[in-house]
Structure 1
Amino acid sequence: MISGGPRPVAPFSHAVEADGWVFVTGQMPTDPAAPDAPLPEGIAAQTARVMENLKLVLAGVGLGLEHVTMARIYLTDFHRDYALMNETYSRYFEPGKLPARTCIGVTGLAVHALVEIDLIARRP
């Protein structure tokens, strides 16, 4: 668990490391400073909050987004939110250095979120 990290919505660790690979649990668009506050409005704001939470977890294990090798994204309204989520998500990575990725449409997410993202990172 990462000190000051987002409050877990289920029984899990923020991240687990094995042989230099770091597996970051899917993060929700909750505010670590106010975990009971309403979620941000809209997919762009929720994606940005999720990415900030992922950065917080990665920083807690001494890594950053530049160490991410794979991302999985879950969207509750794939067709409506895919383009705007992509626009927001891509701002967090250096152009031309994006991780591999899968994006999946789902019927629901914890805390009624629109988006959840998990990561795999590699320690240099």
Structure 2
Amino acid sequence: MTQDAKIHHHVPDAAPPPPSSRWSHAVEAAGWLYVTGQLPTDPDRPEAALPPGIAEQAELCFANLARILAHAGYGFGDTVFVRIYLKEFARDFRAFNAVYARYFPDDGPLPSRTTVGVAALGRDALAEVDLVCFRQSGG
């Protein structure tokens, strides 16, 4: 595989894309993995209502990310950048961070991060999270 080759990951046990969208769960290129933003949907019941609170929604976002990372052979420790979208920034920032800290604890290297407040997210979600990961070739 050349440095420019890209691997598109469709993860069978991750939440499916909506019928109106066309995307891969992740794209890998030259050691980089770009993980599509994950909403707090239950991949085993994609049409189910979203949980009502930010902590529950954050947990589902990270569970979806974990499935995609595992499928691609990466882990949260390979994350170099996290982008977080919060619908209710002022209200939910602290509770979201409590969940985030379990995946990126202070005693380890922390990825770069951007957290933004947004007017709306798909399915009227409270949070969405995407990742950029890197791993040297050879594991």
Equivalent of 2:75 in 64, 67, 75: 64
CA distance in 1, matches of 2:135, 2:105: 18
* SS of residue paired to 1:70: strand
The normalised TM-score by structure 1 is 0.95
CA distance in 2, matches of 1:64, 1:94: 14
Structure 1 equivalent of residue 17 of structure 2: 8
CA distance in 2, matches of 1:41, 1:98: 28
Q: How far 1:93 moved relative to its partner?
A: 2.1
Unaligned stretches of 5+ in structure 1?
A: none
User: Size of the alignment, in residue pairs?
Assistant: 124
Paired AA for residue 57 in structure 1:
I
Structure 2 equivalent of residue 109 of structure 1: 121
Structure 2 equivalent of residue 88 of structure 1: 99
Q: Which runs of 4+ in 1 moved over 4 A?
A: none
Identity value in percent: 45
Task: Pick the structure with greater CA Rg.
Answer: 2
* SS of residue paired to 1:91: helix
Structure 2 equivalent of residue 27 of structure 1: 38
Unaligned stretches of 5+ in structure 2?
A: 1-9
CA distance in 1, matches of 2:106, 2:80: 15
Name which structure has the greater RCO, CA cutoff 8 Å, separation 6+.
Answer: 1
CA distance in 2, matches of 1:102, 1:4: 27
CA contact (8 A) 1:3 1:60 kept: no
